Amino acid sequence: MTPLISIQTLQDKMNATIIGQEKIVQRLIIGLLANGNLLVEGLPGLAKTRAVRAMANAIESKFSRIQFTPDLLPSDVTGSENMYEENGQYQFKFEKGPIFGNIVLADEINRAPAKVQSAMLEAMEERQVTIAGKTHKMPKLFIVMATQNPVEQEGTYPLPEAQMDRFLMHINIEYLSSEDELKMLQMLKKEKNQAPQIEEKISQDVIFAAREEIENISVSLEIERYIVDLVFATRYPEKYSEELASFIDVGVSPRATIALETCARVHAYLKGRDFVQAEDVTAVINDVFRHRLTLSYTAMAKAKSADEVINLLHSQVAISA
C-alpha cells in the first residue's frame, strides 16, 4: 500500500467518524502532512475535540490533551525537574508534561495566561522546551491542534500575533446541515449499541514517507509568482482597488508565503497530482491567511469577515501568464 493510499484510508476513517465535516478532516490531514500546527475554531459542540481524537486514534501515536485554564502554570504543560532519593542520594529528574505527545490537543488555548502561551510558543516553533537550563526535544511526529471558542471572552487571553502566526492554518468549523445532523444522531446510536472495534492503525513511517513524496511535488515559477502576488496584495492592497485597501490594515507575514506554498503542495498530493495548480492555492488560501490578516476599522464597521476580504483579494489577483 502506497503512502497516498494509506493517507486516503486515514481520511476515510475520519470522515466516517466526523459526519458532514469532510473539509475540516481534509484540513487536519493537510496540517499533519505539512508538519504544521493548527488552530481550530468553532462554537461548543461542533466536534472539534472529536475530530482531533479521530485522527489520533487512527495513527500509531501518543495523544495528549491539555485543558487550558487561567490558573495553569508553564510546568503543568512542559513538565518540571523533581527531586528523588535513590540509595540515600538526592538527584533531580525531568518529568515530561503533556506537551510531549505526538498529537497534542490544546483545548481552549486562549484561556491560558501569557507565561503558558510563551511555553507553548517555544514548543510549537522550536520543537523543544527549556527547563532549568536544559533543552528537551519534541518527538519526531509532533503537531499541536489548538481549539478556541469564538463566543466566550470572559476569562480569556487573546493569543498574541506572534503565536497566531505560528499556526499553519486557522480552521473554522460551522454547523452541520439538517441531513448531516440526522446522520450524526443515527451514527451515535449505532456506536452505543456496537462493541468497540479494534482497527489497524497507520504507522508513523507512512506519514514521514508521505511528507517525503510531498517534497517532490513540483511548483512552477508561474504558481510561485501567483503565491507571492497574493501575499503582496495584502501588504499593498491599494495597487488593486480602493475597496480592498480600505479593508486591510496589516498584511500577512513571510510565514504566510511559505505556508501557502506548502499547503498547496499537500492539497495537490491529496488530489493525486505531482504538480501544483492555481486551484490548490485558492483552495487553502483562506485557512492560511484568515488569522494573519489584520482588518481595518472600516472592515469591522461594515461587518466584513476575514474570509470575505480574502475572497475579494484573490478575485482581484490574476495568475501571471
pTM for the model stands at: 0.89
Q: For residues 251 and 293, what is the distance between their CA atoms, to the nearest angstrom?
A: 6
What one-character DSSP code corresponds to residue 58? H
Query: Is the distance from CB of 62 to CB of 139 less than 8 angstroms?
Result: yes
pLDDT at 267: 96
Residue the block writes with cell 490533551: 65
Domains assigned to the chain: 3-191 (3.40.50.300), 216-316 (1.10.8.80)
Q: Helices in 34-169 by DSSP H: which ranges?
A: 48-58, 74-78, 114-126, 161-164
pLDDT at 208: 95
Cα of 139 vs its chain's centroid, Å: 17
Q: For residues 27 and 169, what is the distance between their CA atoms, to the nearest angstrom?
A: 8
Local mean pLDDT, 10-residue blocks, the chain (321 residues): 90 85 89 93 77 87 89 87 79 86 88 82 84 86 86 66 85 84 81 68 92 95 95 93 92 94 96 94 94 91 92 87 56
**DSSP one-letter string for 226-290:** HHHHHHHHHHSGGGT-HHHHHHEEE---HHHHHHHHHHHHHHHHHTT-SB--HHHHHHHHHHHHT
